[in-house]
Structure 1
Amino acid sequence: MKNFKRFILLVCCFAIFGFQESTIDEENPKPEQIKELLNEAEVSINTMNFDKAQEQLDLSLKLSKRINAKSYIALTSTILSRMYHVRHEYDKGITQLDRAMSIQREINDDAGLNYSYVLYSKILTSKKEFDRALNYLVLAEKYYTQQDNREQLGIIALNRAVIYFADNNTKPRALTELRNAEIYLSDSDNQYEKTRLNYFMARAFQYDGNYERAEQSAKKSLEISKAAGYTGMVMYSYNLLSEIAQERGNYASALELLQQGNKIRETIFDVNKEALATEANARLGNSALKSTVDQLTAQQAENERTLKVNKLTTILSVALITILSLLTLSLYKNNNLRARANELLQKKNSELILAKENAEKASLAKAQFLTTITHELRTPLYAVTGLTHLLLEESPTESQKEHLNSLKFSGEYLLSLINNILDLNKLEANKVEIVKTNFDLEKRISDVLIALKNSADDRNTKLHFSYDKDIPAKLIGDPLKVSQILINLIGNSIKFTEDGDIWIAVNKTRQDGKFVSLLFEIKDNGEGIGKEKQKAIFENFTQGSTQINRKFGGTGLGLSIVKNLLSLLNSEIELESDLGKGSTFTFELQFEAETLETKPAEPVSPSKDIVLTNDIMKDKNILIVEDNKINQMITRKILEKNKVICDVADNGTIAIEKVQNNEFDLILMDIHMPGISGIEATIEIRKFNPDIPIIALTAVTLDDNLDEFYMNGFNDIIPKPYKTEEFFHKINKYLAARETTV
């Protein structure tokens, strides 16, 4: 009867749950429904139901995009990164967090951003990057202290204890943080964090040799985990209890608890047990027990043999001895086969691990090489472009101006090549983000054609542009990536078309509500591409033939970048071409037509009502911190032409002294310098001058480290070599903002 009542109750619960899910109007969802869906996804992650969690997160993202709820779009990425963290896919988790934090900064979502900081710290802890993990906890702690959020402060204390516990030198500090976490979480309903708290309290007591308290905390962790269905924590709690029992000399109990933990492990994971044990040990410090498993097994086997001997003395017969002998022989053969199979599997597993390590080393070496070579190329290229800019402003003769323009073109071409290589590397590493904004597509394409007109004129090639008038005037999408795709495709057509024509056409194919699909076509009557080469040209460093490479030059990266960018935008490039007759490239993209409801708010900046002109720089004191003499001279002359009063520091130490003893309106700070770095110098300056604008003027590749630059006190970053317009715009912006606050 009791079972029947429970069954009826469960049926009712599922019926109610199903009804609630079915009431979600996917065309007009409500924010509270999305929030509830995200809460359910977190429960699914805690219970290791990853398939269900993925479905809930996919639906949440779809509904959030439907109502343009950016905070929930970011929160979906944050929770998805948490799932990747539980599954030990740390790099995927970091990629999702970077997306979430980018949106949260854009919309000033402080609550979501600091929640992301805490999760970022947990992932960095799992990757053993403890210093960075602690820095993110410090950022989050400041915010939650202001909000008086005791639960989040407790989670921060718990995560800090986990970091301290990972290092023998800081283990004694872990128990203090755990005590703080216990106080903060005393009134919390967050059962998942409470089971983690009890688990690590048990670990701390075990480390101090207080096995009784350790066992009590571990049992409490097991109790909460079982009640809430946290399968992973149930497994870890059993293993910890087994460890404690073994250290207390209770081997039979230790073996029984270990078997219970392994039984749960086998129901969750259908992969190599040895690899899983290694991962669990790395995350929870559960390696001590492994060395004693054989001892426990031997003890248990000895007990079983004693019982068998007592029974066999009374019931054993010749027939049974014969049968057992045959079975023993069969088992012996099977064990030999298993031993050989295990040996082969271990060998193959070792080879796979070695191959994985070599691949990771090669990938790291590639990234380090690109970072180094980019810096080494950008530094002299800054001198080339900077000096060219200065010479062009000094009224050169027509002949000199022609040579200088050629030099400027060559510098820009080299910079374009460097950027192409870096773009390709970022695309392959899945580090490129889609940034949506409203823009005028027709003007954007016209700007691209104006930029490419000189190249077309040099080839005596005419550009023809056709634009469908039914396309909405304003679209929402990623204009930068659209421009990058068109520059590469049209530039490719110009390169292979001489004394010919290129037609660029954009037509609307369909419109579903506010979503518009557009077909882009770039057609030329140039060299054309043979059928056998049409697929290969979209691969890296590939061109139609060696003869084409010698005749037209180039690296073969443009079309590869186009293919990767379109893939990122959920589209594909199509090609029709005949050798000697020309080529036609087509692709289709979907945009959102701007409406009053979807039009993004105008960004507010400190200098919104101020027109930024170079006049703002007049008589301003700017400190240039740069160890390269040529770069010092170039930056100084560019600024002094606009009546700026410049001072120069050769290194970070001198910069700190000058800022202490002089008044400056702005600092341009290089990063790599002898002695202390630009980052270290900025940290020191911020201790006594938190208000002065500091801009990093550097040749370092910054894409993966932007957060750390801002965390250490920089206001903005200008990568070298720069365009003078961008250089002046950023300086003027901060000078204008400083004037409004003085």
Structure 2
Amino acid sequence: MPTQIKYFILAILINCSFLASSQTEETQENNRVKDSIENYLTKASHAINTAQLATALENITLAKELAVENQNKTYKAKTNSVLAELYLELGDLKSAKEQIENAIKIQIEEKDEIALANSYNICGSISIKLRDFENAKKHLELAYSLIEKNNLERLEGPVKINIGLLALEMNELDHAIKHFNSALPKIEALEQSYYKAKLYTNKARAQMAMGLLDDAIATNALAMQIGSEMKYLEIQSESFELYSQIYEKKEEFNTSLLNLKSHQQFKDSLFNINKEIIAQDARAKLNMEDDKVKIEELEEENKQQQKSLKLGRLTTILSIALITILSLLTLSLYKNNNLRARANELLQNKNTELILAKENAERASEAKVQFLSTITHELRTPLYAVTGLTHLLLEESPTPNQKEHLNSLKFSGEYLLSLINNILDLNKLEANKVEIENTSFNLQKRINDVLIALGKSAKDRNNKLHYEFDKSIPIKLKGDPLKISQILINLIGNSIKFTQNGDIWIKVKMINRIENKVFLNFEIKDNGVGISDKKQQSIFENFTQGSVQINRKFGGTGLGLSIVKNLLSLMDSEIKLESELGQGSRFHFDLKFEVFEDIVSNYQEEAKKIDYGVMVDKRVLVVEDNKINQLITRKILEKNKMICDVADNGDIAVNKAKNNEFDLILMDIHMPGISGIEATKLIREFDTEIPIVALTAVTLDDNLDEFYNNGFNDIIPKPYKTEEFFTKLHKALSKKQTTS
């Protein structure tokens, strides 16, 4: 073989060996770069979870530099994904959304389904924060489909947590709890402590929203335990904030305040960290434009020496910029401390002013309570005459037409009493101090009574009332019939008032029934004048009407819709309004009732079982200063064959009780001379056996103990219902007969 050929073959072999060696070295270098990027991103994710955002930023920066330097799209997208998590933690949702969208775009092009599943999950989390629930649902469903397709067990739990969080934000509380519970076994099996803590925090939030406060405290304690053990500052901060909200709902305000302070300390700490991170992040490394990257790549390929020089200059510039920013940050912190000191001084001054304002408000409130106590009695006393005379007229065999009008008058009297109570106690409504009764009633009949009471008003304005009642609704329900009537009278009356020559539709339908509970929808719709969009925002406020012109034309206090809103709030519901000027208005709301089981639990049922023979020939002393009330009470008693005597004031009552024998005394409270309470105390000095029943128009909410402690056997509030009146009289007389 010629020598030249030998040398040629040897040269080829050497060249091949060199190329193979180069390729091996290149592969090894690529693997080293990938491992480094993966390592940096893993450290960054862990640092984000533990609120070490400076460490997270440092690792993301290193990962992105390597990804850009090696022009690796896959790892550039992964870096953008982790960077989106960092921006989400910092609260920069706009930047977070930009980064995750860039990552998703690259991963779709590269068909990197494993990384894409994680990016979809992060995008869903960002969309929840932005309250873009439709976009969040879309990306979380995409993430879950890729998880199932590729069997990505480590992502299954985090995605279910975000799906549960989406349900929580959309107020679908049962679904939220369901998703959190389904995620827990997988997270525990994989020992994903951070996501386990997040799950417990959000589950506790859902339990709190459902009113399960003790369950929420227990669940939140599990999150706090993990946060403390693993040093998850964000989890600890959220847990303290959640404790504060739960104990506030439990009205344990001192505990709530302590937890709020702990949350604020963590929040301040995290905020300062965020400021340091933002100071370090000049976006010099993390937001490089593609054109600049390409120029740097060309310069690197063609001018290696110039690249080194420029990198040195860039490092110097960045160092100078960083030192400048840190100096500015130091100056800013100094000024911020001065501002805080001044702010604290201002807060102390404001606090002093607020304490004075609070004391003034309390004094004004006491004056208002005294006024309301007086005016309550003055308003209820004439109402006693209305309801009493109505009862007597109903007992005198009226014609059917008269009976209908008298029933309407009776119903209106009851409603007027309820309306007076609600107007006078509007402050109690807003403070949630008004109690909801729970008695049996016929809802269909109750609404019929409302329509009869409002029929004349509708007819006067030439309006037609259309009533639709779902026949599947049980006949008897348990609830507060007077407050239901008040709500409907206000809403239907409002429609009648603002509609002329039109139609008003009243619809009640059953939405659902679960065991002994029914869920009903009420709708009141008219084709009247309507309400503008601007006024719809304030129409439910106190003393508010559509406009000055409407107030002049239609009149009214502007309290009706405010009372409706407050009453529905007490019943765990809310009023909804749809309206358009000139087209009419639609009010609707949902209420939950229990189906009434046939158990006697009200005076109407008890009255049917009374042995009226016990009352015959019994001597009753009626102590009452109002002549009309004397006449009504006396007629009612004598109609049932009882012997009645009357005393105009407390002094006469004491003398008559001392010199005569009575079986029962009905005692008014507010009278000229000595009060009913004082008269009762004097009678009890010489007679401890005779039943004394308070017949009074005062508010009983806070006074029951005072009556019983001063010698009364029972209390009948005025204006009373005859069923309650005779039931309590029968009870008092039967007890006296037994003891004697």
**TM-score, length-scaled by structure 1:** 0.48
- Larger radius of gyration between Structure 1 and Structure 2: 2
